[in-house]
């Protein structure tokens, strides 16, 4: 347990120091996105990595959160912080209700049902023009503020987003190390065995689905308030896939893995910008190659790679001697 606390403290330090390295550069903006994507990847990992239930529609919950905040603040003038709470509660409740029929499904049926949900939400964002502004988006969403202190630039947003991201990581770490975390993993390994041992698998799956959707909605609200502008294009099928990729590339059932995956996939397009249109090809190749050669994700793959290099090196030294 102690090494867990060290890791978390180390993470806080890194988060605190990074702005001094990248101060004033475009990277600060990218790092804000890394924070938002980390929240999303962590929330999805609770469902996918721990409970073993895939969702290909999480971008929908993210979007729903963003639109609830966007519409409530711009059209109805409700306090921004309050709208974050409202979207977390509303989206969590929606996910709880639809979770019962959805999570009865397994494997690719579950994948398809969640995908369908995501697409239905995406179509809703596009078509309910009088509320959402349709494909051209919704603008003028206010920045968050505390007592007149406005979070209106990259540095301020960075600390705001990462503060909340760190809280969510802490929550997730505590959750997966608790009794609930163990119950979730037992569902992952064998749902039948878990139920025999007295885990209410059905309810627990739905609860974790609702929690995951709720965190995604919070991330969505924060996204809306930091960007001030939202459009359906950010919440489509591709983004759902990207989220699943973050979780898998980072490492299933590893909270820090999700952080790594989110960071890699958010930074990658920035690096690949040099390749312009080739980035989509690199992205697809990376997905295939990572799954083939690093099935445990980066979090397991990197240490394994280092130790294998080290072993080979030692062998080489021994062979020479």
Q: Are 185 and 201 in contact (CB under 8 A)?
A: no
Report the relative pairing of strands 149-150 and 145-146 from DSSP bridges: antiparallel
Q: How far is the CB of 191 from other proteins (least distance, A)?
A: 9
Decide whether 83 or 245 has the Cβ nearer to other proteins. Answer: 245
Q: How far is the CB of 180 from other proteins (least distance, A)?
A: 22
- Point out which residues pair with 229 in neighbouring strands: 139
Decide whether 284 or 303 has the Cβ nearer to other proteins. Answer: 284
Q: How far is the CB of 102 from other proteins (least distance, A)?
A: 8
Q: How far is the CB of 36 from other proteins (least distance, A)?
A: 22
Decide whether 168 or 184 has the Cβ nearer to other proteins. Answer: 184
Write the CB contacts of 186 (distance below 8 Å, at least 6 apart in sequence): 193, 194, 197, 199
Say whether 53 sits in a helix, a strand or coil: coil
Q: Show the beta-strand stretches assigned E in the chain.
A: 138-139, 145-146, 149-150, 229-230
Decide whether 76 or 293 has the Cβ nearer to other proteins. Answer: 293
Q: Are 257 and 101 in contact (CB under 8 A)?
A: no
Q: How far is the CB of 41 from other proteins (least distance, A)?
A: 14
Site of interaction with other proteins (CB under 8 A): 48, 54, 101-102, 104-105, 107-109, 111-113, 115-117, 119-120, 123-124, 126-127, 192, 237, 241, 244-245, 248, 252, 277-278, 280-281, 283-288, 291-292, 295
Decide whether 295 or 303 has the Cβ nearer to other proteins. Answer: 295
Write the CB contacts of 129 (distance below 8 Å, at least 6 apart in sequence): none
């Amino acid at each position: 347990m102690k090494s867990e606390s060290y890791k978390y403290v180390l993470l806080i330090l890194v988060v605190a120091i990074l702005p001094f390295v990248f101060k004033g550069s475009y990277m600060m903006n990218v790092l804000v996105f890394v924070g938002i994507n980390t929240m999303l990847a962590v929330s999805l990992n609770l469902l996918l990595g721990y409970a073993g239930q895939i969702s290909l529609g999480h971008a929908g919950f993210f979007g729903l959160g963003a639109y609830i905040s966007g519409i409530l603040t711009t059209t109805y003038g409700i306090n921004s912080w309050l709208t974050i709470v409202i979207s977390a509660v509303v989206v969590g409740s929606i996910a709880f209700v639809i979770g019962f029929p959805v999570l009865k499904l397994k494997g690719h049926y579950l994948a398809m049902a969640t995908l369908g949900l995501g697409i239905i939400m995406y179509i809703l964002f596009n078509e309910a023009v009088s509320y959402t502004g349709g494909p051209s988006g919704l603008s003028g969403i206010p920045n968050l503020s505390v007592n007149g202190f406005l979070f209106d630039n990259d540095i301020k947003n960075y600390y705001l987003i990462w503060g909340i991201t760190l809280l969510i990581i802490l929550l997730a770490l505590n959750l997966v190390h608790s009794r609930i975390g163990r119950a979730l993993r037992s569902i992952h390994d064998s749902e039948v065995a878990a139920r025999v041992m007295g885990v209410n698998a059905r309810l627990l799956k739905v609860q974790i689905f609702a929690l995951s959707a709720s965190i995604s909605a919070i991330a969505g609200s924060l996204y809306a308030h930091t960007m001030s502008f939202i459009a359906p294009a950010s919440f489509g099928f591709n983004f759902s896939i990207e989220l699943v990729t973050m979780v898998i590339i980072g490492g299933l059932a590893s909270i820090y893995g999700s952080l790594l995956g989110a960071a890699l996939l958010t930074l990658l397009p920035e690096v690949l910008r040099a390749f312009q249109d080739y980035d989509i090809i690199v992205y697809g190749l990376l997905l295939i190659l990572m799954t083939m050669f690093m099935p445990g994700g980066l979090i397991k793959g990197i240490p394994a790679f280092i130790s294998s290099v080290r072993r080979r090196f030692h062998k080489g030294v021994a062979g020479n001697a």
